[in-house]
Amino acid sequence: MANGGGGGGGSTSGGGGGGGSSLRMSSNIHANHLSLDASSSSSSSSSSSSSSSSSSSVHEPKMDALIIPVTMEVPCDSRGQRMWWAFLASSMVTFFGGLFIILLWRTLKYLWTVCCHCGGKTKEAQKINNGSSQADGTLKPVDEKEEAVAAEVGWMTSVKDWAGVMISAQTLTGRVLVVLVFALSIGALVIYFIDSSNPIESCQNFYKDFTLQIDMAFNVFFLLYFGLRFIAANDKLWFWLEVNSVVDFFTVPPVFVSVYLNRSWLGLRFLRALRLIQFSEILQFLNILKTSNSIKLVNLLSIFISTWLTAAGFIHLVENSGDPWENFQNNQALTYWECVYLLMVTMSTVGYGDVYAKTTLGRLFMVFFILGGLAMFARYVPEIAALILNRNKFGGTFNKHGGRKHIVVCGHITLESVSNFLKDFLHKDRDDVNVEIVFLHNISPNLELEALFKRHFTQVEFYQGSVLNPHDLARVKIESADACLILANKYCADPDAEDASNIMRVISIKNYHPKIRIITQMLQYHNKAHLLNIPSWNWKEGDDAICLAELKLGFIAQSCLAQGLSTMLANLFSMRSFIKIEEDTWQKYYLEGVSNEMYTEYLSSAFVGLSFPTVCELCFVKLKLLMIAIEYKSANRESRILINPGNHLKIQEGTLGFFIASDAKEVKRAFFYCKACHDDITDPKRIKKCGCKRLIYFEDEQPSTLSPKKKQRNGGMRNSPSSSPKLMRHDPLLIPGNDQIDNMDSNVKKYDSTGMFHWCAPKEIEKVILTRSEAAMTVLSGHVVVCIFGDVSSALIGLRNLVMPLRASNFHYHELKHIVFVGSIEYLKREWETLHNFPKVSILPGTPLSRADLRAVNINLCDMCVILSANQNNIDDTSLQDKECILASLNIKSMQFDDSIGVLQANSQGFTPPGMDRSSPDNSPVHGMLRQPSITTGVNIPIITELVNDTNVQFLDQDDDDDPDTELYLTQPFACGTAFAVSVLDSLMSATYFNDNILTLIRTLVTGGATPELEALIAEENALRGGYSTPQTLANRDRCRVAQLALLDGPFADLGDGGCYGDLFCKALKTYNMLCFGIYRLRDAHLSAPSQCTKRYVITNPPYEFELVPTDLIFCLMQFDHNAGQSRASLSHSSHSSQSSSKKSSSVHSIPSTANRPNRPKSRESRDKQNATRMNRMGQAEKKWFTDEPDNAYPRNIQIKPMSTHMANQINQYKSTSSLIPPIREVEDEC
């Protein structure tokens, strides 16, 4: 057997070649190799030795040659001559012969074209000379030739097109053919790997060598495919020089030569490795590679590996064969895989030296290869590594675990938004959150965000991709997701563009899977209308749009009616852990309330048939739960949310209650409560599931709180008899009052078409603009001042969402607070289109930083000052985003005011707390208070400031000790209700997912009654439409609202000094159907020493035994009072302020009883005198300032703020809410 790794010399076939019927070994010490000779023919004299072998011994004693018989299939050349040149010549002749034929054909074609061109010119000249008649005869044979050529060209073109389709993978047959050629090429390369362990050249019998037969079949197929490619090629010359063609030239012909010569030569068969370059194309044909990263990765790998294997094959060939000019004497035995190793260490510049090239050809090749190989290694390997690492990190597909839901979160994915979301979604107060969170974003997370994902790796996964790509939606299994949540960038410079991006995300997701539940954040209220254009968008099935501008301004508007309410509501739907403080400070009581959240739970059957106040009292006293609303089913199976519906409503079976509690486990008491088992239990923790009966869970009738099924949302707080046949009460809609009859008969549009808001005819903005002098002449009191920063280029913030809650129809017209906007007129003109249908709105062009403008609007007499900015997101530095609002707030607080208005009657406008009117005969003098000058410093002005950056809250109060790193809800301005940031609304995403009724409840409370039907109407017209008063629209006014109850005086004064909060709760609920749910307490009320500080903080849902102080203000849900609409606020002008201050009270407060109302204190004469004064005043007015209905004969309805003592300054919220307690009436002045 020949030495495939050693060198051969002379005429022998050492180094891999040889043949014959026997193998003879001699003792040639100098040659030191095995010589393989061809044997003679198989006869009886085959024992004679050849002359070459007999002369091989030199210094050793002559000995007989050792003959090792080897059975060879076919006799080779008797001289042992190598035939490698025959194999190589076949390839070279094929390549250069074909190249010569192509060039010759092109040359002849060019000459023929030139000759034809010259002949065409001669014929054209003859045609001109011979005339048209002769030309017809001569052209006829030419036309026949052209038709023949056209037919020939058409046939060739068809064949060419067919061949092109076959090799281009445009059809199924073509794809199969292309894939088959590639697979056979890899098969031929594998056969080369097998044969590389044999000598370079060896004798083989084609008929008995199985691998040679397979290789032959492969190459026949390659030859046919080569023919197809040649026919389809447009440029034959470039085709002949292609890499794939060169591979065929040096691999296909040697196979046919090996069959003819009965010998095999490895030769250049390693070139088949170059076919690996097409690997990515094949995978794309099979639709396996779809992303650019995967295609790029496979391309890099295939180029690198094919170059590596091809170069290793060449080294294997020359090193095992030797240099031809050295007579193949300098060869060395290297296996193919050793050559692969050699090329790798060479490319990587390591070069251990254990394996190296000895031949001149091998070394020359290594010189050139190391230049290209090193460059390729340095470029390709890092890129391949980066692609592999990145692809494995955030690529792949989400694998859903059995029994666990998953949600997809996309949109604005940052460290802040994700941390806020996870903090609330995965809060420990929620019952076992068995939900996986899948984040999908097109940008890979930074190190901080990635670390956050790793901390929650058991429930959080991140995938890189876009929801606009259906492939990425399939990766995260959006079709099986429980919901998809879309986060918005609250700090973007262009809110409309951000909303458009989120709407496109909704469209893409709904287009992929229409049934998926989507909860998305929206920045602008008017963009919510675009969601209604999506056919599969259905709020009844769980789809929700959380409009941040609507809720943010709604929260601020509610703070104008009950200061501190924004803080309380924000804390209720945010998950906060209980922080225990031992010291007796205001933080202790505030944090006890912060730990409360809003939950829902089905009511036990023990409550069926009881009235809502009865159940509410039982839950508060016995179960230590505060129930504020229920989901009620009407006779037609429609569900609606009723907030504090009153004692006319009876609890049904399977009623869902809304509770305020500190833990979801506590709310279970309402479901487990059993009168028979738990009636005598005093410890609510012992109320657990009893065994006396089987508790029924109403899954068939009501979906669970985690179900995505949407309840019907219609604004909710309506106490209408149509909601249920069980509603039995004296309803003014069934027996209308006098004021309602007048409203229906006057044929005047006072409310919008839904009856939810006060409405007036559209007004031009010029009619509501006040100059500084006009504002100064008008005594504004008890109003709302809105300081807004914005210009003509600022993004609109949607002031309609601020005005709508202040114009809710559950207020009577005289109770509406006048709204004065102070800001740029250019900006307000852009907002005016959405505000021109609301009454009692005025504009003072100016700037909130001007003290003259602020004094002109009597900011020291306002009920609330709101500071907003439309320029907050246009600044890159986050610490400067709130600079305007902070400067305006500090400017107001540093202002000083003198008592220049005089001593006014505190109850001249009906805003004095009950019991403080000394002129009322029904009130004891014990309830009176000495009146002191009004507010003299801006610190005492009620202000609420909107912030973008939470950390800027530290600049609002200069006397607080808040740490800059303190969370917003723990800071003093937020606890006092003087600061509000949009970031607190992030918690609504998770709250809405777990219970979509929570969003409906919050939206109903803060928007004044906005409904999906109203949103659809605004989407059509972008404005409220006026409507006539009908029993149906007037019924919508009958809904409760939030107010503040004073304890300093009035019907609850006896509980204000050391009484229990639980006693107050029960008394207010039983007597007035008022539901108390929190306290607004002075910050220093716990101190024994008196304090001049007027700051207050919020206490949410205090316990029953909580001790009250006289200065407390109580948050409560009040019923709508139908009879209070008969009162009318008196009007006053600054020139008559002193006169009106000397007059007696124009209204009387009384406690209701079954007897008739007390006599009116005014005589006919005094009332006539007052009427005359009013008529004179109206006639002397040079300019009409009307914010009332057009037919109103009175000038601007301006409210005079009552004068009060220092104590009254601390409880100045009395003036607008305490008088609204249902039993206390304002009696209309007769004209």
pLDDT at residue 1091, as a whole number: 74
Q: For the chain, list the domains and their CATH numbers.
A: 1-82 (no CATH), 84-102+154-285 (no CATH), 289-386 (1.10.287.70), 395-542 (3.40.50.720), 749-900+931-984 (3.40.50.720)
Sheet with 864-869, edge to edge strand ranges? 841-845, 819-823, 784-789, 864-869, 943-947, 979-981
pTM, entire model: 0.67
Instruction: Quickly state the pLDDT bin for 558 (edges 50, 70, 90).
Output: very high
Does the pLDDT of residue 1141 top 70, yes or no? no
pLDDT at residue 874, as a whole number: 64
Comparison of pLDDT for 1122 and 628, the residue scoring more: 628
Q: What residue type is 1018 in one-letter code?
A: I
Cα 1030-554-992 angle, rounded to 5 deg? 100
> Residue 366 is encoded by which pair of tokens?
């290594």
Q: What residue type is 5 in one-letter code?
A: G
Instruction: Quickly state the pLDDT bin for 1131 (edges 50, 70, 90).
Output: very low
pLDDT digits (tens, 9 = 90+) for 396-419: 889 987 778 999 999 999 999 999
Contact (CB, 8 A) for 1059 and 777: no
Residues with Cβ < 8 Å from 782, sequence gap 6 or more? 817, 818, 861, 862, 863, 909, 911, 1199, 1200, 1201, 1215, 1216
Instruction: Quickly state the pLDDT bin for 1115 (edges 50, 70, 90).
Output: very high
Contact (CB, 8 A) for 845 and 774: no
pLDDT at residue 654, as a whole number: 86
Question: Which secondary structure element, helix H or strand E, spans residue 981, and what is its range?
Answer: strand 979-981
Comparison of pLDDT for 130 and 1205, the residue scoring more: 130
Instruction: Quickly state the pLDDT bin for 908 (edges 50, 70, 90).
Output: very low
Question: Which secondary structure element, helix H or strand E, spans residue 626, and what is its range?
Answer: strand 626-633
Distance CA 157, CA 163 (A): 10
Cα 207-209-215 angle, rounded to 5 deg? 100
314 three-state secondary structure: helix
Distance CA 247, CA 232 (A): 18
> CA 835, 836, 840, 842 torsion: positive or negative?
positive
pLDDT digits (tens, 9 = 90+) for 466-524: 999 999 999 999 999 999 999 999 888 889 999 999 999 999 999 999 999 999 999 99
Q: What residue type is 129 in one-letter code?
A: N
Question: Which secondary structure element, helix H or strand E, spans residue 947, and what is its range?
Answer: strand 943-947
Contact (CB, 8 A) for 653 and 698: yes
Listed ranges 109-118, 542-551, 698-707; the one with the highest mean pLDDT: 542-551
Contact (CB, 8 A) for 1214 and 912: yes
Residues with Cβ < 8 Å from 504, sequence gap 6 or more? 468
> CA 800, 802, 805, 811 torsion: positive or negative?
negative
Of 989, 1002, 984, 919, nearest to 948 by C-alpha is: 984
Length of the chain: 1231
Distance CA 488, CA 589 (A): 34
pLDDT at residue 784, as a whole number: 96
Put residue 804 in one of left, alpha, beta given phi > 0 → left and psi -120 to 50 → alpha.
Answer: alpha
Q: Classify each residue of 787-821 as buried b or exposed e, where b means 16 or more C-beta atoms within 10 Å of its C-beta.
A: bbbbeeebbbbbbbbbbbbbbbbbbbbbbbbbbbb
pLDDT digits (tens, 9 = 90+) for 18-55: 333 333 333 333 333 333 333 333 333 333 333 333 33
Contact (CB, 8 A) for 311 and 317: no
Does the pLDDT of residue 1203 top 50, yes or no? no
Residues with Cβ < 8 Å from 814, sequence gap 6 or more? 910, 1127, 1128, 1129, 1197
Distance CA 274, CA 263 (A): 25
Tokens 């429609």 sit at which residue? Answer: 638
Question: Which secondary structure element, helix H or strand E, spans residue 640, and what is its range?
Answer: strand 639-643
| Distance separating the N- and C-terminal Cα atoms of the chain | 134
pLDDT at residue 37, as a whole number: 36
Does the pLDDT of residue 1057 top 60, yes or no? yes
Least confident of 312-326, 356-370, 381-395: 381-395
Does the pLDDT of residue 462 top 80, yes or no? yes
Residues with Cβ < 8 Å from 846, sequence gap 6 or more? 772, 822, 823, 852, 853
Rounded to 5 degrees, what are φ and ψ at 306? -65, -40
DSSP lists the bridge partners of residue 66 as 25
pLDDT at residue 569, as a whole number: 92
Comparison of pLDDT for 1154 and 151, the residue scoring more: 151
Does the pLDDT of residue 838 top 80, yes or no? yes
Instruction: Quickly state the pLDDT bin for 283 (edges 50, 70, 90).
Output: confident
Question: Which secondary structure element, helix H or strand E, spans residue 110, and what is its range?
Answer: helix 84-130
pLDDT at residue 202, as a whole number: 76
Distance CA 1055, CA 1107 (A): 9
Instruction: State the average pLDDT for the chain.
Output: 75
Put residue 542 in one of left, alpha, beta given phi > 0 → left and psi -120 to 50 → alpha.
Answer: left
